[in-house]
Structure 1
Amino acid sequence: MSLTAAMNTAQSIFNNTSKQTTVVSTNISNAQNPNYVRRNAALTTSGNGAVVASIERAQSEPLLRQTILTGSMSSGQSTLLAGLKEIRDLLGNNDYDNSPSAKLQTLYNALSSYAGSPGEATLGASVVTAAQDLVDNLNVTSTEVQGVRQRADAQIKTKVDELNNLLAQFETANNEVVSANALGADPSTPLDKRETLLKKISEIVGVSTVLRTNGDMAIYTSEGTTLFERIPRAVSFVPTNTYTALVTGNQVFIDGTAITPGQGGDTNAAGSLQALLQIRDEAAPKFQSQLDEIARGLIASFAETGPGGLSTPVAGLFTNGVNSTIPPAGVVQPGLSWSIKVNALAKATPTTIRDGGMNGAAYVVNTSGSGYSTLIDSYAQAMKATRAFDNTTDVKGNLSLMTYASSSAGWLEAMRSTASAANETKTAMYSRASEAYSNETGVNLDEELSLLLDIEQSYKAATKLVSTIDEMMKALLAVAG
């Protein structure tokens, strides 16, 4: 080997070790960064030995796709579970002691006690108190259910704004990747940034991606709508300020296409947006409709029909808060659980529960005195009598009012339980996918430090070669005089 070739080899080693040291140092400094993908200085042979040909990322597209998919599923499931827990908390502790079912049982017990001693005025007052507690429970629970919808609507607005912001950032990162690839520069840093943004986007809405020329990436939602293709697509939503049982929330549009809500306790929602729509438009309204059916069943159960049941049925102990009309059987009356009231005459004169007459003299049933319990018994029996309920509430079949209320709480608990089990599964799936991806692309300090020692040995070899060349040059110059 000539001295010139030796010098070129040494120079090549110095260049290589400098670039390798920079790469390894960057890896080590980002060892705790979950959004950093490990780099490697790839060597190739040349006329003067090895040379750093490129900087490679330890990328794994299949594992990245799996991480994004499971992340979307986990985000959607956890969002739904949080909403169901919020609704569930309205019913009290594990015994559901603040549920309409529990309040109905209290009313039934009060009626039974009053029927046993119809002459006891305090027992009649106890029935009115139990009825008022039940109405208050329905009114408040209905209001709080609409509050859940309102908060979900506000979260949807926040998520839409966040998604639009992320897409704007994604455009910048994507352009940087395309530019770096077109110029032959290292795209690793913008790729890390783009990948981080993609993960955040997937937590809001399920996505799939397509890579094109120079690493350009297009994003589509899990429903097939274009989310990003060279430029972000518009994500729009108009929030609703006030919710009642009669109010339908506005849709979320991506590129003019509406997002569909998730379905089921083990929801198919991909990302938090679909889950929030499911809470606002599916779960909470369904429970609201069940509350409304309980209220309708109460009004019907305590209707006054006059002597012999021959008069036109009108609202008795419970009214819709407006008039004495009896709602039609088997049809939900939206918002009835919010508007239901205890008849003012029953509050003023509890004995009307025993005697009838809340709607005038024509509806008085008891004319035999304070020992009469037939009407009180009929109300208690009506609470346990089979009647038609609206099947669209998901509590189906001909059931008694008491059974329907209990089944409503059971419906909610079953959905929450299913969501909780699914959340554990999907969280575990996401955790395993993230761990596998991290093991493949993350920084291992032991490996990096070992590589740093190898680079140090290469550097020492180069310095030894330069030292030897220097001694030879000195010897040559000494011989030349």
Structure 2
Amino acid sequence: MSLSAAMKTAQSSFSNVGLQTAVASKNIANASDTAYARRAAILITAGSGATVVETQRAQNEALLKQNLLSISKSHAQDTLLGGLTRIKMMLGGEDYELAPATYLAKLRDNLQTFADKPNEVSLAETVVADAVDVANSLNATSIAVQKLRAEADADIATSVNELNRLLQEFQTYNDKVRVGTAAGNDVNDALDQRDKLLTQISALVGVSALKRPNNDLALYTSDGTVLFETVPRSVTFVPTNTYTAAVTGNQVYIDGVAVQAGAGGNTSAQGSIAALLQIRDNVAPTFQNQLDEIARGIIGMFSESVETPPASGTFVDTDGLFVRNGMAALTDPGLAAVIKVNPAVITAQGGEPMKLRDGIYINANPANDASFSVLLNKYSAGFEQTRTFDTDAAIDTSTSILAFSTASIGWVEQLRSAATTASDDKAALLGRTQEALLNVTAVSLDEELALLLDLEQSYKASAKLVAAVDEMIAALLSAAS
């Protein structure tokens, strides 16, 4: 080897070590960044020695695809579980002490006691108080359900705005990758940012990516709707500010196609938007139907007789004129929000609780018999009487009011239990997927430090080569002089 060739080899080695050290240093600096993929300087052997040809980025497209899917499913499941947990809290938590079923059972027990001692005014007061508790429970729960729908709607609006922002940012980095790849530039940093945006998008909506020439990506939703192709597609939503049981929320549209809500406790939703739609348009309305059916059932139970106008009796609507003045509210959605106890039997409102025994609109006890209990026994028997309920309530359509109200709790608990199990399963799958992906792309400090030690040895070897060449040149100059 000539002295000139030796010097070129040393210079090439110094250059390679410098570039490899820079890559290793960048890896170490970004070791804590989960969005950063490890870089590796790839060398080839040329006539003048090893030469750095490119810096490659660690990646695994199959694992990335699976990770995006796991993120979408896990976020959707957690969103649904959060909504179901809110409904459980409306009912009082683990013991469901605030549920209408709990108050109905108490009303039945005290009503039976009153029927056994119909001359006791204190028992009449107790039954009226229990009836007020039932109405208040239905009112509060119905209002809370509609508040849950309104909050879900607001969260959908926030998520849609965030999705549009992420897609705009995705376009910026996708353009950098596409143009940089075509020009032969290093686009690894832009690829990191683009993949990071992909994971954020997948938390909102199920997404799949199709790679095209020059590392360009096109994005599609889980149902095949175009989400991004060169430019972002429009994601639109008009929020609804106020919710009642009669209000239907607006759809979310991606490129003109409506996003489908998830279904089931182990939800089919991918991304939080579809799960929020499921809460707003499926879970909460179904539970509202159950509350309305409970309200309708007890109104019918406590109507006084077939001779009076339908549903005239102990329970009325908020203005105390329920149905008696020709209202058709018995079939209206949101009945549970307006039901109340007739002021005619509430002492604090100028009423007389003993009218429960004798009748409010009819004089069932003209002799003022202290032992009269016909109406009370009728009301008490009504708790066990089989009634017909609307199929939209999604539980037994032919059962007693107590069994129906208990089945409503069971419906919530069954759905929440399935959602809890599915949430744990999907979180575990996400954890394993992320771990597998990080095993491929994450930076290992041990490996990088070991590489730096190897590079140090390469540098020392090159330095010795330069020193040897220097000595030879010095000897030649000395001999020539």
Q: Does 1:316 align with 2:319?
A: no
Q: Does 1:267 align with 2:267?
A: yes
Native 8 Å contact 1:354 1:366 kept in 2? no
- The amino acid across from 2:182 in the alignment is A
In the alignment, the residues of structure 2 paired with residue 352 and residue 153 of structure 1 have an alpha-carbon distance, to the nearest angstrom, of 45
Q: Does 1:353 align with 2:352?
A: no
TM-score, reference length from structure 2: 0.96
What is the Cα deviation at residue 179 of structure 1? 1.6
Unaligned runs of 5+ in 1: none
In the alignment, the residues of structure 1 paired with residue 276 and residue 473 of structure 2 have an alpha-carbon distance, to the nearest angstrom, of 77
In the alignment, the residues of structure 2 paired with residue 203 and residue 368 of structure 1 have an alpha-carbon distance, to the nearest angstrom, of 69
- Matched with 1:171 is 171
SS of the residue corresponding to residue 210 of structure 2 reads strand
CA, structure 1 residues 397+360, in 2 after alignment: closer, same or farther (shift >3 Å)? Answer: closer
Q: Could you list the per-position Cα deviations for residues 54-78 of structure 1 after superposition, in whole angstroms to 9, with x for gaps in the alignment?
A: 1001101111111111011000000
Identical aligned pairs, as a percentage? 48
Native 8 Å contact 1:235 1:255 kept in 2? yes
- Matched with 1:130 is 130
In the alignment, the residues of structure 1 paired with residue 69 and residue 331 of structure 2 have an alpha-carbon distance, to the nearest angstrom, of 39
- Matched with 1:453 is 453
Q: How does 1:34-433 map to 2 (within 5 A)?
A: 34-305=34-305, 313-321=310-318, 323-325=321-323, 333-347=332-346, 348-356=351-359, 358-361=360-363, 364-365=364-365, 367=367, 369-433=369-433
CA, structure 1 residues 285+366, in 2 after alignment: closer, same or farther (shift >3 Å)? Answer: farther
What is the Cα deviation at residue 395 of structure 1? 0.9
In the alignment, the residues of structure 1 paired with residue 437 and residue 290 of structure 2 have an alpha-carbon distance, to the nearest angstrom, of 45
In the alignment, the residues of structure 1 paired with residue 311 and residue 94 of structure 2 have an alpha-carbon distance, to the nearest angstrom, of 37
In the alignment, the residues of structure 1 paired with residue 5 and residue 366 of structure 2 have an alpha-carbon distance, to the nearest angstrom, of 121
In the alignment, the residues of structure 1 paired with residue 237 and residue 311 of structure 2 have an alpha-carbon distance, to the nearest angstrom, of 44
- The amino acid across from 2:466 in the alignment is V
SS of the residue corresponding to residue 79 of structure 1 reads helix
What is the Cα deviation at residue 311 of structure 1? 5.5
- The amino acid across from 2:336 in the alignment is S
- The amino acid across from 1:122 in the alignment is S
In the alignment, the residues of structure 2 paired with residue 59 and residue 141 of structure 1 have an alpha-carbon distance, to the nearest angstrom, of 50
In the alignment, the residues of structure 1 paired with residue 240 and residue 368 of structure 2 have an alpha-carbon distance, to the nearest angstrom, of 56
Native 8 Å contact 1:293 1:333 kept in 2? no
SS of the residue corresponding to residue 94 of structure 2 reads coil
What is the Cα deviation at residue 343 of structure 1? 1.2
SS of the residue corresponding to residue 94 of structure 1 reads helix
Unaligned runs of 5+ in 2: none
Native 8 Å contact 2:205 2:273 kept in 1? yes
Native 8 Å contact 1:355 1:367 kept in 2? no
In the alignment, the residues of structure 2 paired with residue 115 and residue 4 of structure 1 have an alpha-carbon distance, to the nearest angstrom, of 115
What is the Cα deviation at residue 333 of structure 1? 3.4
In the alignment, the residues of structure 1 paired with residue 136 and residue 317 of structure 2 have an alpha-carbon distance, to the nearest angstrom, of 13
SS of the residue corresponding to residue 52 of structure 2 reads strand
- The amino acid across from 1:403 in the alignment is A
Which deviates more, 346-355 or 448-457? Answer: 346-355
Q: Could you list the per-position Cα deviations for residues 127-153 of structure 1 after superposition, in whole angstroms to 9, with x for gaps in the alignment?
A: 111111110111111001100011111
What is the Cα deviation at residue 396 of structure 1? 2.2
Which deviates more, 173-182 or 193-202? Answer: 173-182
SS of the residue corresponding to residue 369 of structure 1 reads coil
- The amino acid across from 1:143 in the alignment is I
SS of the residue corresponding to residue 312 of structure 2 reads coil
Native 8 Å contact 1:289 1:332 kept in 2? no
In the alignment, the residues of structure 2 paired with residue 402 and residue 446 of structure 1 have an alpha-carbon distance, to the nearest angstrom, of 65
Native 8 Å contact 1:23 1:40 kept in 2? yes
Number of positions where the alignment pairs a residue of Structure 1 with one of Structure 2: 474
Native 8 Å contact 2:142 2:291 kept in 1? yes
Q: Could you list the per-position Cα deviations for residues 183-229 of structure 1 after superposition, in whole angstroms to 9, with x for gaps in the alignment?
A: 11111100000000000000000100001110000110111111111
In the alignment, the residues of structure 2 paired with residue 98 and residue 445 of structure 1 have an alpha-carbon distance, to the nearest angstrom, of 55
Q: Does 1:9 align with 2:6?
A: no
Native 8 Å contact 2:304 2:375 kept in 1? no
Q: Could you list the per-position Cα deviations for residues 400-440 of structure 1 after superposition, in whole angstroms to 9, with x for gaps in the alignment?
A: 00000000011001111110111000000001100110011
In the alignment, the residues of structure 2 paired with residue 233 and residue 392 of structure 1 have an alpha-carbon distance, to the nearest angstrom, of 36
In the alignment, the residues of structure 2 paired with residue 190 and residue 325 of structure 1 have an alpha-carbon distance, to the nearest angstrom, of 67
SS of the residue corresponding to residue 451 of structure 1 reads helix
- The amino acid across from 1:352 in the alignment is K
- Matched with 2:472 is 472
In the alignment, the residues of structure 2 paired with residue 173 and residue 321 of structure 1 have an alpha-carbon distance, to the nearest angstrom, of 58
SS of the residue corresponding to residue 155 of structure 1 reads helix
Native 8 Å contact 1:245 1:334 kept in 2? yes
Native 8 Å contact 1:395 1:408 kept in 2? yes
In the alignment, the residues of structure 1 paired with residue 403 and residue 227 of structure 2 have an alpha-carbon distance, to the nearest angstrom, of 47
In the alignment, the residues of structure 1 paired with residue 84 and residue 415 of structure 2 have an alpha-carbon distance, to the nearest angstrom, of 8
CA, structure 1 residues 314+98, in 2 after alignment: closer, same or farther (shift >3 Å)? Answer: closer
Native 8 Å contact 2:269 2:275 kept in 1? yes
What is the Cα deviation at residue 310 of structure 1? 5.5
SS of the residue corresponding to residue 95 of structure 2 reads coil
